[in-house]
Amino acid sequence: MTDGEQTVSAGELDEAGEPTLAYLTRVRRDLHRIPEIDFDLPKTVAYVTRELEQVRAALNRRGQACEILTPCKSTVCLWVDRKSEHATAFRSDMDALPVSEQTGREFASTHERRMHACGHDGHMAMALGLAWHVAAHADELPRSVLIVFQPAEETTGGARIVCETGLFERLRVDRIFGFHLWPDLEEGVVASRAGALLAASFETEVEISGLASHVAKADEGHDSLAAGCRFLCDAYDLMREAEREEPCLLKFGKMASGDVRNQISAHTLLQGSLRTFSDKMCDHLRGEVRRIADEAAAREGCTASVAFSDGYPPVTNDAGLLELAREAVPEMGRIDEPLLITEDFAWYQQYLPGVFMLLGTGTPAPLHASTFDFDERVLMVGLDCYRRLVRIP
């Protein structure tokens, strides 16, 4: 792919104007070559916009008015107004990860230390495929349609910024659907669950301040490292109890303390992640973490401070909308237990009913791995679901 104009080739749309596997494959691989991060997505946004311009031209030829919208930074949307009372939205994320690709594929990333290792290239291909379906069948659709391509899912939560523009209220959107490719599911399987599907996430920092002294005169210091170790053990004991009530997670991946080996540490920092599915458990664990930190610090004559980031809310599927989706896609499987992964699709569900679905790739490499790849045929399964969901009255 070059940065010039791309056009739909023969065989990429069938006689009815529907996108084929060749189209989804080309788009996914084009986008896979140009991964970009956070809100810095100039090539990706340009590519998606050029594809949508072709869709708009096709809609205009059929007498259907539509718009390409840019409601906020590095966001592009296709709006097809059917003059219905309400509209249905579909969402794709566009950003990649700071990962050095090791797939060895001929369409591997051309950007150093950038890779679509989370399947967002596939998400965009499915959403663009849906755009062509809408172009081919706009006069048959019962509702207006908004297709959202958003930045920064992997970083600061671009979904929240999209929501805060008032876009959904302005266009009378009252439902939203989204997909995520999922290696843990068998290839081509679509699945979801009502209620909590994915977790809320809060970055967690615990700082313990003590007093340095020579280890030979340890009683003259206040040992922040000892307090940090005590806190960590007590926090994990707390989690074992909390997990008996409902799924949750508190883990620390980094602990830094002290300056030299023969000095009592005056400062210890622990960094980790808290993940929950309910406000009740979140409030409980936050309070308990603060209590445990204060008690562990006090036993060593230290002080503690605890901070939690705002994080993402849990992805919580609307039960009524999911039931409508299951009627349209009766083969949709069921996820038995919520998963501790996070996703900023949750922000959309804070503003309107939404359903998030998982699309199995059945691949050995997990999401975010430098070797993550998938068979593009699964994208046709996702697109077929979108075709049916867009027809729900």
pLDDT per position as a tens digit, 65-121: 899 999 999 999 999 999 999 999 999 999 999 999 999 999 999 999 999 999 999
- Given a cut of 50, whether residue 3 has pLDDT beyond it is no
pLDDT band at 5 (very low <50, low <70, confident <90, very high): low
> Which of these, 245, 243, 208, lies nearest to 224 by C-alpha position?
208
Segment 283-312 mean pLDDT = 96
Enumerate residues 6+ apart whose C-beta is below 8 A from 123. 92, 93, 178, 179, 180, 181
Reported as type and span, the H/E element at residue 294 is: helix 279-299
Measured CA distances, 134 to 83, 175, 391 (Å): 15, 17, 10
Distance CA 349, CA 29 (A): 30
pLDDT band at 311 (very low <50, low <70, confident <90, very high): confident
Query: Is residue 248 within 8 Å of residue 275, measured between CB atoms?
Result: yes
Segment 263-269 mean pLDDT = 98
Enumerate residues 6+ apart whose C-beta is below 8 A from 110. 33, 34
Q: What pLDDT shows up at residue 4?
A: 46
**Dihedral angle over CA of 333, 337, 343, 345, nearest 10:** 60
| Percent of the chain whose pLDDT exceeds 70 | 99
Q: What is the mean pLDDT of the chain?
A: 96
Segment 303-315 mean pLDDT = 95
> Which of these, 388, 350, 381, 371, lies nearest to 190 by C-alpha position?
381
Segment 315-327 mean pLDDT = 98
pLDDT per position as a tens digit, 24-76: 999 999 999 999 999 999 999 999 999 999 999 999 999 998 999 999 999 99
Query: Is residue 248 within 8 Å of residue 242, measured between CB atoms?
Result: yes
Q: What pLDDT shows up at residue 194?
A: 98
Q: What pLDDT shows up at residue 9?
A: 87
Segment 357-379 mean pLDDT = 98
Query: Within 13 A of 384's CA, how many CA atoms are on the CB side?
Result: 15
Helix, strand, coil percentages for the chain (3-state, nearest 5): 35, 25, 40
Enumerate residues 6+ apart whose C-beta is below 8 A from 9. 22, 26
pLDDT per position as a tens digit, 180-235: 999 999 999 999 999 999 999 999 999 999 999 999 999 999 999 999 999 999 99
Could you tell me the pTM of the whole model? 0.93
Segment 17-30 mean pLDDT = 98
Query: Is residue 51 within 8 Å of residue 131, measured between CB atoms?
Result: yes
Segment 249-257 mean pLDDT = 97
Backbone angles phi, psi at 43, to 5 degrees: -70, -40
Distance CA 62, CA 275 (A): 48
> Which of these, 133, 123, 130, 126, lies nearest to 18 by C-alpha position?
133
- Given a cut of 90, whether residue 177 has pLDDT beyond it is yes
| Percent of the chain whose pLDDT exceeds 90 | 96
Distance CA 242, CA 249 (A): 9
> Which of these, 139, 142, 152, 144, lies nearest to 172 by C-alpha position?
144
- Give the single-character DSSP code of 138: G
pLDDT per position as a tens digit, 135-156: 999 999 999 999 999 999 999 9
> Which of these, 178, 213, 8, lies nearest to 93 by C-alpha position?
178
